[in-house]
Structure 1
Amino acid sequence: MTLKVSAASLLLFASAAIAQNALVPSSPADRAEAREIFKQLVEINTTDTPKGSVTAGNKAMEKRFLDAGFPREDVRLLGSDDRKQNLVVRYRAAGRPGAKPVLFLCHMDVVEALPSDWSTDPFQFVEKDGYFYGRGTQDMKDSDAALVATFLRLHREGYQPRRDLILALTADEEGGKFNGAAWLVNQHRDLVDAAYVINPDSGGVELDHGRPVVADVEATEKVYADYQVTATNRGGHSSLPRPDNAIYELTTALNKLASYSFPFEMNEVTRTYFQNIAREESGQTAADIRAILAEPPDLEAASRLGAEPSFYSNFRTTCVATRLNGGHANNALPQTAQANVNCRIFPGHSPEEVRQELIKLFADPKLTVQYVSDAGSVSDTAPERKAIAPPAPLPEVFEPLTRITQQIWPGVSVTPVMENGASDSIYFAQAGIPSYGYSAVALERDDVRAHGQDERLPVDSYWKSLDFFYAFTKELGNK
């Protein structure tokens, strides 16, 4: 089954969705519990820093599950580092399971946040002006909390699934040496083996001034890669400056990168996405989308659309400087200047291809471009791996996903997308377990604050995601 056929199937699910299995909204008591879990998670620092501890967050959730009556053997806290323990919770089927489990994959860690950069304390859960503020409110303690609350609610109600449901809250998705998802797949496959994975770390509902435009379901994702770009020089005394200067040479290279765009590309996933978006947009934006779908694509239209970062990144590989370091003393010419260049590689290309492209772009033999692994090691060559082909959308996943989404956001189209970020889905895809990314969170296109200052989530969006996951989890458990 090709993705083109699969995408058509997905649209068929959307058009065929009818009123059935009426959505049961969460009660005030359910919401109060879900809010308290969300607050508790945000206020536990789970960054990859000396102050952070994923273990602390997962121990707090472990206690909730044990207090609720989940068996000890079904609530497992484990990992290869004391501060980065993963939590795996199994909600067992009644009797003999009728099918392989469903795994809900969530990461517990968050990126660092500097209090001086925020208008609120990033590690205090603040509700104001219709938003929840705090680090992780978008990425992804909202979904962590919603799924913990969902498992607890289902258990409290006496729900008996026909298959096991698994929730994994993992470490180091955002970076670090102890990626929990990879470790679980490689070391404890039995705990997380599943028919498929639902990963709320991607996807969701795009809003345009409050209007739902499209519900994105991740069907494929870019390859994440970091490169260390280094300029070296013999240095000297700063009172005797010379034209050759490591910082200037590195800056010249980065300025080239700033003005460079990788070639325009499309694949079946992104083409389907833009075909659906074109139906929802109007005016110049709709015309430009139709123009890039033509053969050959209109590159001027692509340039206009590219002013919107979410569109731009769907067209091509992107690379951007994210860190900079240079010099060793205020009164010395720099002997070394280094930058980290972070790339999100369009499917079909490898990290080594992009490394060679950067070398060609910089065109300076005095610079080195080295690959930085997930564990932080630096090497002169990069992997040749390319993005894994997207799985065909399973009807047992997409039919309820589409129907429940449209019950919450009537009329919204559901479409496969390419995730521009990177997620832990890759480790399960490599292990032969298909993964689908959907957060059920609705965000304005221009208010994505994950990893940024004043990260926030609309309060109403959290309640809707809570209602979605309750209904969706229950339906998947009934399969």
Structure 2
Amino acid sequence: MTELHAPTAPAVAATPTAEEEVARICQELIRLDTSNYGDNEGPGERAAAEQVMGLLQEVGLEPELFESAPGRASVVVRLEGEDRTRPALVLHGHLDVVPAAAADWSVDPFSGEERDGLLWGRGAVDMKDMDAMILAVVRQMAREGRKPARDVVVAFFADEEAGGVYGAGWAVQNRPDLFEGATEAISEVGGFSVELGGRRAYLLQTAEKGLAWLRLVADGRAGHGSQVNAENAVTELAAAVARIGAHQWPYTLTPTVDALLRGVADLTGLPFDEQDPASVDALVAALGPAGKFVGATVRHTSNPTQLDAGYKANVIPGSASAVIDVRLLPGHEDAGMATLRELAGPRVRIEPIHQDVALEVPFTGALVDAMVDSVLAEDPEATVLPYTLSGGTDNKSLSRLGITGYGFAPLRLPGHLDFAGMFHGVDERVPVDSLKFGTRVLDRLLRSC
């Protein structure tokens, strides 16, 4: 007699958790070339924005995609919170990356290759890692039907790497309704770990320097290259560039930097004397690779980055120009600009290309407490310290709506990894375990904040 069996039901694939899918999402985003060359050039963010849209729509959310110019796409979705009477939180990332010269890399910078437990590629740390963590956590929450503690505006902006004109800046000016009721924001370049005195410390970004991309212009008298010319524009410009590039800005410790260095001193046992540059330098050095960030926040910086003059070897041009990248400390912007004008001299004028505000907020409050608690729940033996970012983020744009911004992209990192050096650097990469850690911390935060 033949034994009858009921037909076997087809296997149903288990739905991945946020931890299980964060690396895949990050890989997929890295593989989309969203290089931002500035001046509205490059491939744009549209492909990545459409990828984000699909990931959000797949779990039943209704995001909005908008363009500020052809291809310059951003995505925003609002998550309804448990307590809608509370002010909303903006959780945001950017989809563009700086360009990468493939010949300089060990891997194809847009391959998203996983090697030795790390994901490699442009954007792995700036900031498609955080984009992936946000997406993974939000997708899991949506699948589970779970709400955050309060309304959360989740945004993925275009153009952050060129100042946000076509991204967050455009959204703030043209679509402020998207951020209605929001008072606080969380974004990139904070929440990562460093090793200090045998203990792990996480740096939470509570301040960022002001941005000033400035053009120096010298006007002179055009003429033949063989003649004596006391009004040579190139000479005037070169002298101004040399003065600005070589200027030793004095140490100026803002409240955030002061608090960070005191924390480093407590953990390492090193002395801290704010009046002694050697003491400050030693504390910055104790931060290891993260000292690249912190060392640029104890004073203003001004770096010449571009030169433009002349069109022929035997012609003295009538004008010459240069570009300088200036980063100014919070609360000291006016004094810094006054010094730059003195260094440029009376025959070189300064023209703004793009400027934006410096930000600094206290290392206190319910949101800060929630971020600290979320990290320590996953790494109980660690500590959390405030720090200032030497660069800038889209929190600058959101500040124009009165939104207070923090940098919190939580990553537990190996002590030897030169994390700070990978921002805009070669062979950018992030540990997969760090991404998983970040998803757990971010999930905890949205439950509680």
Q: TM-score range by the shorter chain?
A: 0.7 to 0.9
SS at match of 1:266: coil
Give me the whole-angstrom Cα distance separating, in 2, the residues matched to 1:177 and 1:200.
14
- Please tell me the residue identity of whatever aligns with 1:359: R
- Give, in angstroms, the shift of residue 157 of structure 1: 1.9
Aligned to 1:411: 381
Say whether the 8 Å CA contact 1:215–1:412 is kept in structure 2: yes
In the alignment, does 2:444 pair up with 1:471?
yes
Say whether the 8 Å CA contact 2:149–2:448 is kept in structure 1: no
- Please tell me the residue identity of whatever aligns with 1:372: I
2:172 aligned to which of 177, 185, 205: 185
SS at match of 1:393: coil
In the alignment, does 2:273 pair up with 1:291?
yes
In the alignment, does 2:71 pair up with 1:83?
yes
1:457 aligned to which of 430, 433, 436: 430
- Please tell me the residue identity of whatever aligns with 2:348: L
In the alignment, does 2:360 pair up with 1:373?
no
Aligned to 1:358: 340
Aligned to 1:382: none
Aligned to 1:63: 54
- Give, in angstroms, the shift of residue 106 of structure 1: 1.3
Aligned to 1:400: 370
- Please tell me the residue identity of whatever aligns with 1:272: A
- Give, in angstroms, the shift of residue 92 of structure 1: 2.4
- Please tell me the residue identity of whatever aligns with 1:337: A
In the alignment, does 2:35 pair up with 1:47?
yes
Say whether the 8 Å CA contact 2:211–2:358 is kept in structure 1: no
- Please tell me the residue identity of whatever aligns with 1:393: T
In the alignment, does 2:161 pair up with 1:174?
yes
Aligned to 2:323: 340
2:298 aligned to which of 315, 319, 331: 315
Say whether the 8 Å CA contact 1:98–1:162 is kept in structure 2: no
Give me the whole-angstrom Cα distance separating, in 2, the residues matched to 1:446 and 1:210.
17
In the alignment, does 2:203 pair up with 1:221?
no
- Give, in angstroms, the shift of residue 29 of structure 1: 5.1
Give me the whole-angstrom Cα distance separating, in 2, the residues matched to 1:243 and 1:116.
44
Deviation track 1:103-124 (CA, whole Å, cap 9, x = no partner) reads 2021112112222332322222
- Give, in angstroms, the shift of residue 252 of structure 1: 3.2
- Please tell me the residue identity of whatever aligns with 2:107: T
Say whether the 8 Å CA contact 2:363–2:386 is kept in structure 1: no
SS at match of 2:72: coil
Give me the whole-angstrom Cα distance separating, in 2, the residues matched to 1:123 and 1:182.
27
- Please tell me the residue identity of whatever aligns with 1:299: P
Identical-pair percentage:
27
Deviation track 1:217-252 (CA, whole Å, cap 9, x = no partner) reads 222221111111233443445566868754454333
In the alignment, does 2:135 pair up with 1:157?
no
- Give, in angstroms, the shift of residue 214 of structure 1: 2.3
Aligned to 1:8: none
Alpha-carbon distance change, 280 to 192 in structure 1, aligned in 2, over 3 angstroms:
same
Give me the whole-angstrom Cα distance separating, in 2, the residues matched to 1:368 and 1:107.
34
Give me the whole-angstrom Cα distance separating, in 2, the residues matched to 1:172 and 1:210.
38
SS at match of 1:167: strand
Give me the whole-angstrom Cα distance separating, in 2, the residues matched to 1:213 and 1:261.
33
Deviation track 1:155-189 (CA, whole Å, cap 9, x = no partner) reads 11221345322210011111167342223233322
SS at match of 1:174: helix
Query: Which segments of 5 or more consecutive residues in structure 1 lack a partner in the other structure?
Result: 1-26, 375-384
- Please tell me the residue identity of whatever aligns with 1:373: H
Give me the whole-angstrom Cα distance separating, in 2, the residues matched to 1:234 and 1:474.
66
Count of residues in Structure 1 that have an aligned counterpart in Structure 2 = 424
In the alignment, does 2:272 pair up with 1:301?
no
Aligned to 2:266: 279
Alpha-carbon distance change, 212 to 122 in structure 1, aligned in 2, over 3 angstroms:
farther
Say whether the 8 Å CA contact 1:92–1:161 is kept in structure 2: yes
- Please tell me the residue identity of whatever aligns with 2:56: F
Task: Give the TM-score of the pair, scaled to structure 2.
Answer: 0.84
In the alignment, does 2:409 pair up with 1:439?
yes
1:267 aligned to which of 245, 248, 254: 254
SS at match of 1:80: strand
Give me the whole-angstrom Cα distance separating, in 1, the residues matched to 2:284 and 2:360.
25
1:36 aligned to which of 20, 24, 43: 24
Give me the whole-angstrom Cα distance separating, in 1, the residues matched to 2:16 and 2:59.
19
Alpha-carbon distance change, 331 to 452 in structure 1, aligned in 2, over 3 angstroms:
farther
After superposition, where does 1:95-134 map in structure 2 within 5 Å?
A: 97-134=84-121
SS at match of 2:131: helix
Aligned to 1:231: 218
Deviation track 1:16-52 (CA, whole Å, cap 9, x = no partner) reads xxxxxxxxxxx97544421221111111122234442
Say whether the 8 Å CA contact 2:297–2:388 is kept in structure 1: yes
Higher-Rg structure is: 2
2:400 aligned to which of 430, 441, 451: 430
Alpha-carbon distance change, 311 to 182 in structure 1, aligned in 2, over 3 angstroms:
closer
Alpha-carbon distance change, 398 to 305 in structure 1, aligned in 2, over 3 angstroms:
closer
Give me the whole-angstrom Cα distance separating, in 2, the residues matched to 1:306 and 1:319.
20
Alpha-carbon distance change, 344 to 394 in structure 1, aligned in 2, over 3 angstroms:
same
Deviation track 1:71-124 (CA, whole Å, cap 9, x = no partner) reads xxx311113223112101122246x73423222021112112222332322222
Say whether the 8 Å CA contact 2:261–2:283 is kept in structure 1: no
Alpha-carbon distance change, 406 to 470 in structure 1, aligned in 2, over 3 angstroms:
same
RMSD: 2.9
Deviation track 1:113-158 (CA, whole Å, cap 9, x = no partner) reads 2223323222221222332211111111100111011100111122
Give me the whole-angstrom Cα distance separating, in 1, the residues matched to 2:33 and 2:308.
27
